[in-house]
Structure 1
Amino acid sequence: MGKSAPMNPFWLCAFLVYSLHIFQVPTMSWAVNSLDFAVRGPSFNVPHISHQKKRSPRADMEAESMRRLALLEKEVLQDRLALQRDEARRAKASVDQLKQRIKDLEAELEGARCEGKAIYAEMSRQCQNLQEAMQSRSRQLEEEVKGLRQQLELCQREAEAAQREAKQALGERDQTLAQLRAHVADMEAKYEEILHDSLDRLLAKLRVVKPQWDGAVLRLHARLKEDLRQFGLNPLDL
């Protein structure tokens, strides 16, 4: 078998372009190394250059064009590789920042959780204390209401008893007043009868003693006139 001919750079570039755009080779440094290999050519093909056939100028021009194209592709790939490295560094920096931000947020979240738990515990304690206070106050109010109801019932019974007593007293008073009025009317009638009888007896006595009083008065009047004349006085002047 004869020795293998050197790889044609045209076909190598075509293969690289096909691999990059079709299969999307993930490592761009591999593509750069491959282009470098295509431009420089393999080292084991150099000793056999004298055994190759002399190429035509057209082939040399095509080879030169392909070499320049490969160089251009290499520069483009190197630029893209540098850009990807910068993007990778920026991405890594962004990832680190995001990780740090996540750690900070997790710390803040943990602090907020702890604070929320503390607040919840405090609110629960206050709520429990408030419920206990409300229950105690409710029991106290129930006891007060019970006592007030008992007092109200007692007052109602006392008021009913007092009302009955007042009605009874009023009835007794009315009865007593009626008896007194009847007694007074009876006494008035008796006194009036006694007064009339006394007056009638007095008038009768006066009618009996009036003639005696008239004679005595006339004698007394005459004697007084005589005494006045003895003193030189006229009775008609007095």
Structure 2
Amino acid sequence: MPPKKKTKKTTKKIPEKSENDLEAKYRRSVLDVAILQDHIALQCESVKKVQSDRIDLRRRMRHMEQELQHEKQDHRDVNSDFSRQYKTTQTELTNKVKRMEKEVSQLKEELVLCQEELSKEKREREQVEREKDATIADLQHKLDNMETDYEKILHENLDGLISQLSVARQKWDDKSTTLHQNYKELLSEFGLNAQHI
């Protein structure tokens, strides 16, 4: 009986240690996945902000172009009697048009930069997605391998335990047979039949 207890204790310790290692690796994997998801969420917010800014810039540009058209129309409608005032207004409008055109040019440049940044963000996001998928696949592969290894260890331990139990049972059967034979002989020396007792 003592060998059975020792074998059970050793087989219990190995799975507990393996389960702790597996849980630690699983927790690390969950943390890695959460970090990647947070990173992707931040990039998505950044892309949304860039898109919103681009829409606002386009709206401003259209508004400024409309203002420019209104100013030109007002300019044509000015009376010839106010030619001097017209010239002054024309000069002011010309300066304003130049400023607006310069601003439109700057806005177009900013739009190009925003589009480039958006493309970069998309590429980075796709890269992060690929890395995340590769990490998840790698972790899944490792989990599958660990599961196979643990099954193999468990089967080997169970097979060893069964063979040990078989050997112990054989010993007990042999010992039991020997004891019964000895008692039969002792009883027969005293003149007793073992089947009647």
Q: TM-score, normalised by structure 1?
A: 0.42
Q: TM-score, normalised by structure 2?
A: 0.48
Bigger RCO (CA 8 Å, 6+ sep): 2
Larger Rg computed on CA atoms? 1
